[in-house]
Amino acid sequence: MTTAYPVLPLAAGTLARVLGNVLNFAVVSVKAATRAIRHRRDARMLAGLDSRMLADIGITRSDVNDAFAAPLWEDPTTLLSERAIERRMNRARLRTIAWDGDNKAFRRPPTNRPARQAV
């Protein structure tokens, strides 16, 4: 007695999985390329701003130049956002150090307001 194995359904399922994976890879690649183009366009717009406007955002002209010095496949906006966050964190840290009440050299300046009274 011989046993017949269904070869066609197994082969069709494997072929469908392979084609699905290829199609998924193509879609992901196209999405990544369009995202990279959009981010480069946004970074080019930032490159057109003057230094004062860039400082309002929290980046410098050299940050923009560094972002465009990266290879084409790297996202320039990632570097720019990291630099802006880094500067913001450093400013907050320096502000905390400058207003530290324990440090006599950096004591908070007196205000002209009267002290609060306890209720």
Q: Which domain holds residue 81?
A: 12-106
The answer to the question of residue 32 being in a domain is yes
Q: How many domains does the chain contain in total?
A: 1
Neighbours of 111 (CB within 10 A): 7
pLDDT in tens, 46-91: 889 998 999 888 889 999 999 888 888 788 888 899 999 998 888 7
The answer to the question of residue 39 being in a domain is yes
Whole-model pTM over 0.75: no
The answer to the question of residue 111 being in a domain is no
Determine the pLDDT at residue 101.
Answer: 54
The answer to the question of residue 53 being in a domain is yes
Contacts of 98 (CB under 8 A, 6+ apart): 106
The answer to the question of residue 57 being in a domain is yes
The answer to the question of residue 51 being in a domain is yes
Q: Provide the 3-class DSSP secondary structure of residue 78.
A: helix
pLDDT in tens, 1-32: 677 766 566 677 888 899 999 999 999 999 98
The answer to the question of residue 30 being in a domain is yes
